[in-house]
Chains A and B, each alone.
Chain A
Amino acid sequence: MASDKELSDFLKSVEKRAFKRTVYAVRGDDAALDIVQDAMIRLSTKYADRPAAELPLLFQRILSNATMDWFRRQKVRNAVVQNLSDFEAGDDHESFDLLETVQALEDTLGTESAFDAVSRSEILHAIDAAVGALPARQREAFLLRYWEEFDVAETAAVMGCSEGSVKTHCSRAVFALAAALRAKGITP
């Protein structure tokens, strides 16, 4: 059973990412705050007796369900279930595009010597906007897999899809983000 401190530390570690994830989905700070708070309360009232190690997966599931509940209440569920083909890129990406984007990001964000506060802030804003513009399922897979650091199986469990779908969503999301950043001039 997770103690109060373990529960508090876990929520503290995850609340900002949860908020951002929810903002991407619902496009509003107030609604996102309500959903995150609702998810935290659901976790603490129904699953407070679970071990601390189970909390991350449980919380992400609860957060996803709470977000879906919000969409149901808003009667705009169709906005979430978008036709992925509208946004999907083909499978014929040139991999060196990725390498160039990685190098550009590492040059700008990864080294203190090349630090430029203005351009750094602009790049962070561009990343934020690009993630926000991803199709919902791609964004969810990308954020769970790489931001929450879940493995493929855990991400699939939270999203309720196959592991193959998770890999596809993640791959397409990364290529879409690289393309979006290149379009904004973030190149070496």
Chain B
Amino acid sequence: MSTTPPYHDTEALQARLALRLTAGLSERAASLPRDVSERLRVGREQAIARARHSRVAVPMLALAGSARTLPEGLVPWWQRMAAVLPLLVLVVGLLAINQWTEREQVLAAAEIDTVLLADDLPPAAYTDPGFAEFLKMAQP
């Protein structure tokens, strides 16, 4: 009597044998030498550290270079604002400095004018050559 099973049984037998064999491989792999296990552990920990580093580095690069590298439509509005913000701060700062300087100059001129006008001596006296000579002679 033939014991040859039909085709689908052969496939099932193959799978059954394969699973027994790989179970044996797993059992053998579980008892690797200690130094091999340690090197695998170190390698795994290094890989995890690299993954952590790359996860931190990628968002920073994205913030710094997204405006250049991404198409316009893909850049979030707040990132575009973040890129323009330093320029806005610089322009506003320069305008403020300009305003402040002009105001200082106006105040200084007004103070001089006030002193000259409030003095007993008329301003025209300072352009008189004779008065200038008098001032020189008056100095010790």
Contact = CB atoms under 8 A, between A and B. Distances in A.
Interface of A: 1, 4, 7-8, 11-12, 15-17, 19-20, 29, 33, 36-37, 40-41, 43-45, 48-49, 94-96, 98-99, 101-102, 105-106, 109-110, 123-125, 127-128, 131, 142-143, 145-147, 170-171, 174-175, 177-178
A19 B40 contact: yes
Interface stretch (B3-11, B76-84, B125-133): B3-11
B3 to A, nearest CB: 5
Interface residues of B, number: 39
Contact of B14 (A33, A40, A44, A171): A171
B50 A44 contact: yes
Contacts of A49: 55, 58
Interface of B: 3-5, 9-10, 13-30, 32, 36-37, 39-40, 43-44, 46-48, 50-52, 54-55, 58
A147 B26 contact: yes
A146 B18 contact: yes
A110 B16 CA distance: 12
Contacts of B46: 37, 40-41
Nearest to B35: A29
A17 B28 CA distance: 10
B44 A11 contact: yes
B40 A102 contact: no
Contact of B21 (A1, A45, A95, A131): A131
A53 B103 CA distance: 67
Contacts of A171: 14
Contacts of A98: 10, 13-14, 17
